[in-house]
Structure 1
């Protein structure tokens, strides 16, 4: 078994879009209407939007490979790229998604550990993220890894206002 994490570049834009759409659908399709999923995808994962996010100086995307197969990805943000206004000593994990066929292999933990290393390298004091209140698997994963709920915010899936819990880990 080999696990490899690589930073994404503009050359990876198409693959990033494909895995973003695939993993988002896998994660949220069962609990949301097809119309709301489609509306979200058409806004969040266009090539133009992903390219703009990738070009932001304070955002980074990473692919994780399992035995040389693209298994998932992560996006982290600092400073003005964060999706919420937080203090300057924070790093946001905006997205960690693992393809369903690669789940339960510890890959999410590898990505989370990379985010924590990035945060420490950037002299950040905490790492935070948003998790949908009904994503029990993710809530349990982050709780087991030292994240605690510190707030909540609205997340719109199409026209459906949902609640994400803000979870934070002090480094």
Structure 2
């Protein structure tokens, strides 16, 4: 396998991030949610204005993973007020690690998680945290293997469907 390159994203990566977001969200969740809920979530969360806002936010960072110059996944992290919840003032939130399905099992998610860990260590945060849908067993196993532990849960609303996300954290 060719080496994976991870690059910090900028506003010029908008379409790449949008494409990966929509593709991976559908691949991961379409089979277990209504088409209406999937479409509404994609339209609200991955529209051009929303992604542009996220890319331009000072306390958010995106990193895109490339294999042979093909974008195959990305990491989005939030600091400070950009975090979706206040868990710990000295924390980094992994908001998304999205990897296209054809690249699952090729270590991309691990490389993106490792990038988040390096950033956490270099910025001196005490905790990395994230939310994972309680039914996403593959991803829960991945984070557990990486020593994240469940510390709470919250409701994630997908269209008209209320789902439970497990909140997991790793102390740095």
TM-score of the two chains, using structure 1 as the length reference: 0.98
User: What is the match of residue 161 of structure 2?
Assistant: 160
Report the CA distance between 1:121 and its aligned residue: 1.0
**CA deviation map 1:70-122 (0-9, x unaligned):** 11011000110000012221100000011011110111000001001111111
Q: Distance in 2 between matches of 1:93 and 1:116?
A: 10
User: Structure 2: where are the runs of 5+ without partners?
Assistant: none
Q: Distance in 2 between matches of 1:69 and 1:40?
A: 25
Q: Is the 8 A contact 1:2 1:68 kept in 2?
A: no
List structure 1 runs of 4+ shifted beyond 3 angstroms: none
User: What is the match of residue 124 of structure 1?
Assistant: 125
User: What is the match of residue 104 of structure 1?
Assistant: 105
* Structure 2 SS opposite 1:54: helix
Kindly report the root-mean-square deviation, in angstroms, between the aligned alpha carbons of the 2 structures: 0.7
Q: What aligned pairs does 1:1-171 form with structure 2 within 5 A after superposition?
A: 1-171=2-172
Q: Distance in 2 between matches of 1:154 and 1:63?
A: 28
Report the CA distance between 1:67 and its aligned residue: 2.8
Q: Distance in 2 between matches of 1:42 and 1:139?
A: 26
Q: Is the 8 A contact 1:131 1:165 kept in 2?
A: yes
Report the CA distance between 1:52 and its aligned residue: 0.4
TM-score of the two chains, using structure 2 as the length reference: 0.97
| Aligned pairs, number | 171
* Structure 1 SS opposite 2:63: strand
Q: Distance in 2 between matches of 1:86 and 1:145?
A: 20
User: Structure 1: where are the runs of 5+ without partners?
Assistant: none
Report the CA distance between 1:68 and its aligned residue: 2.4
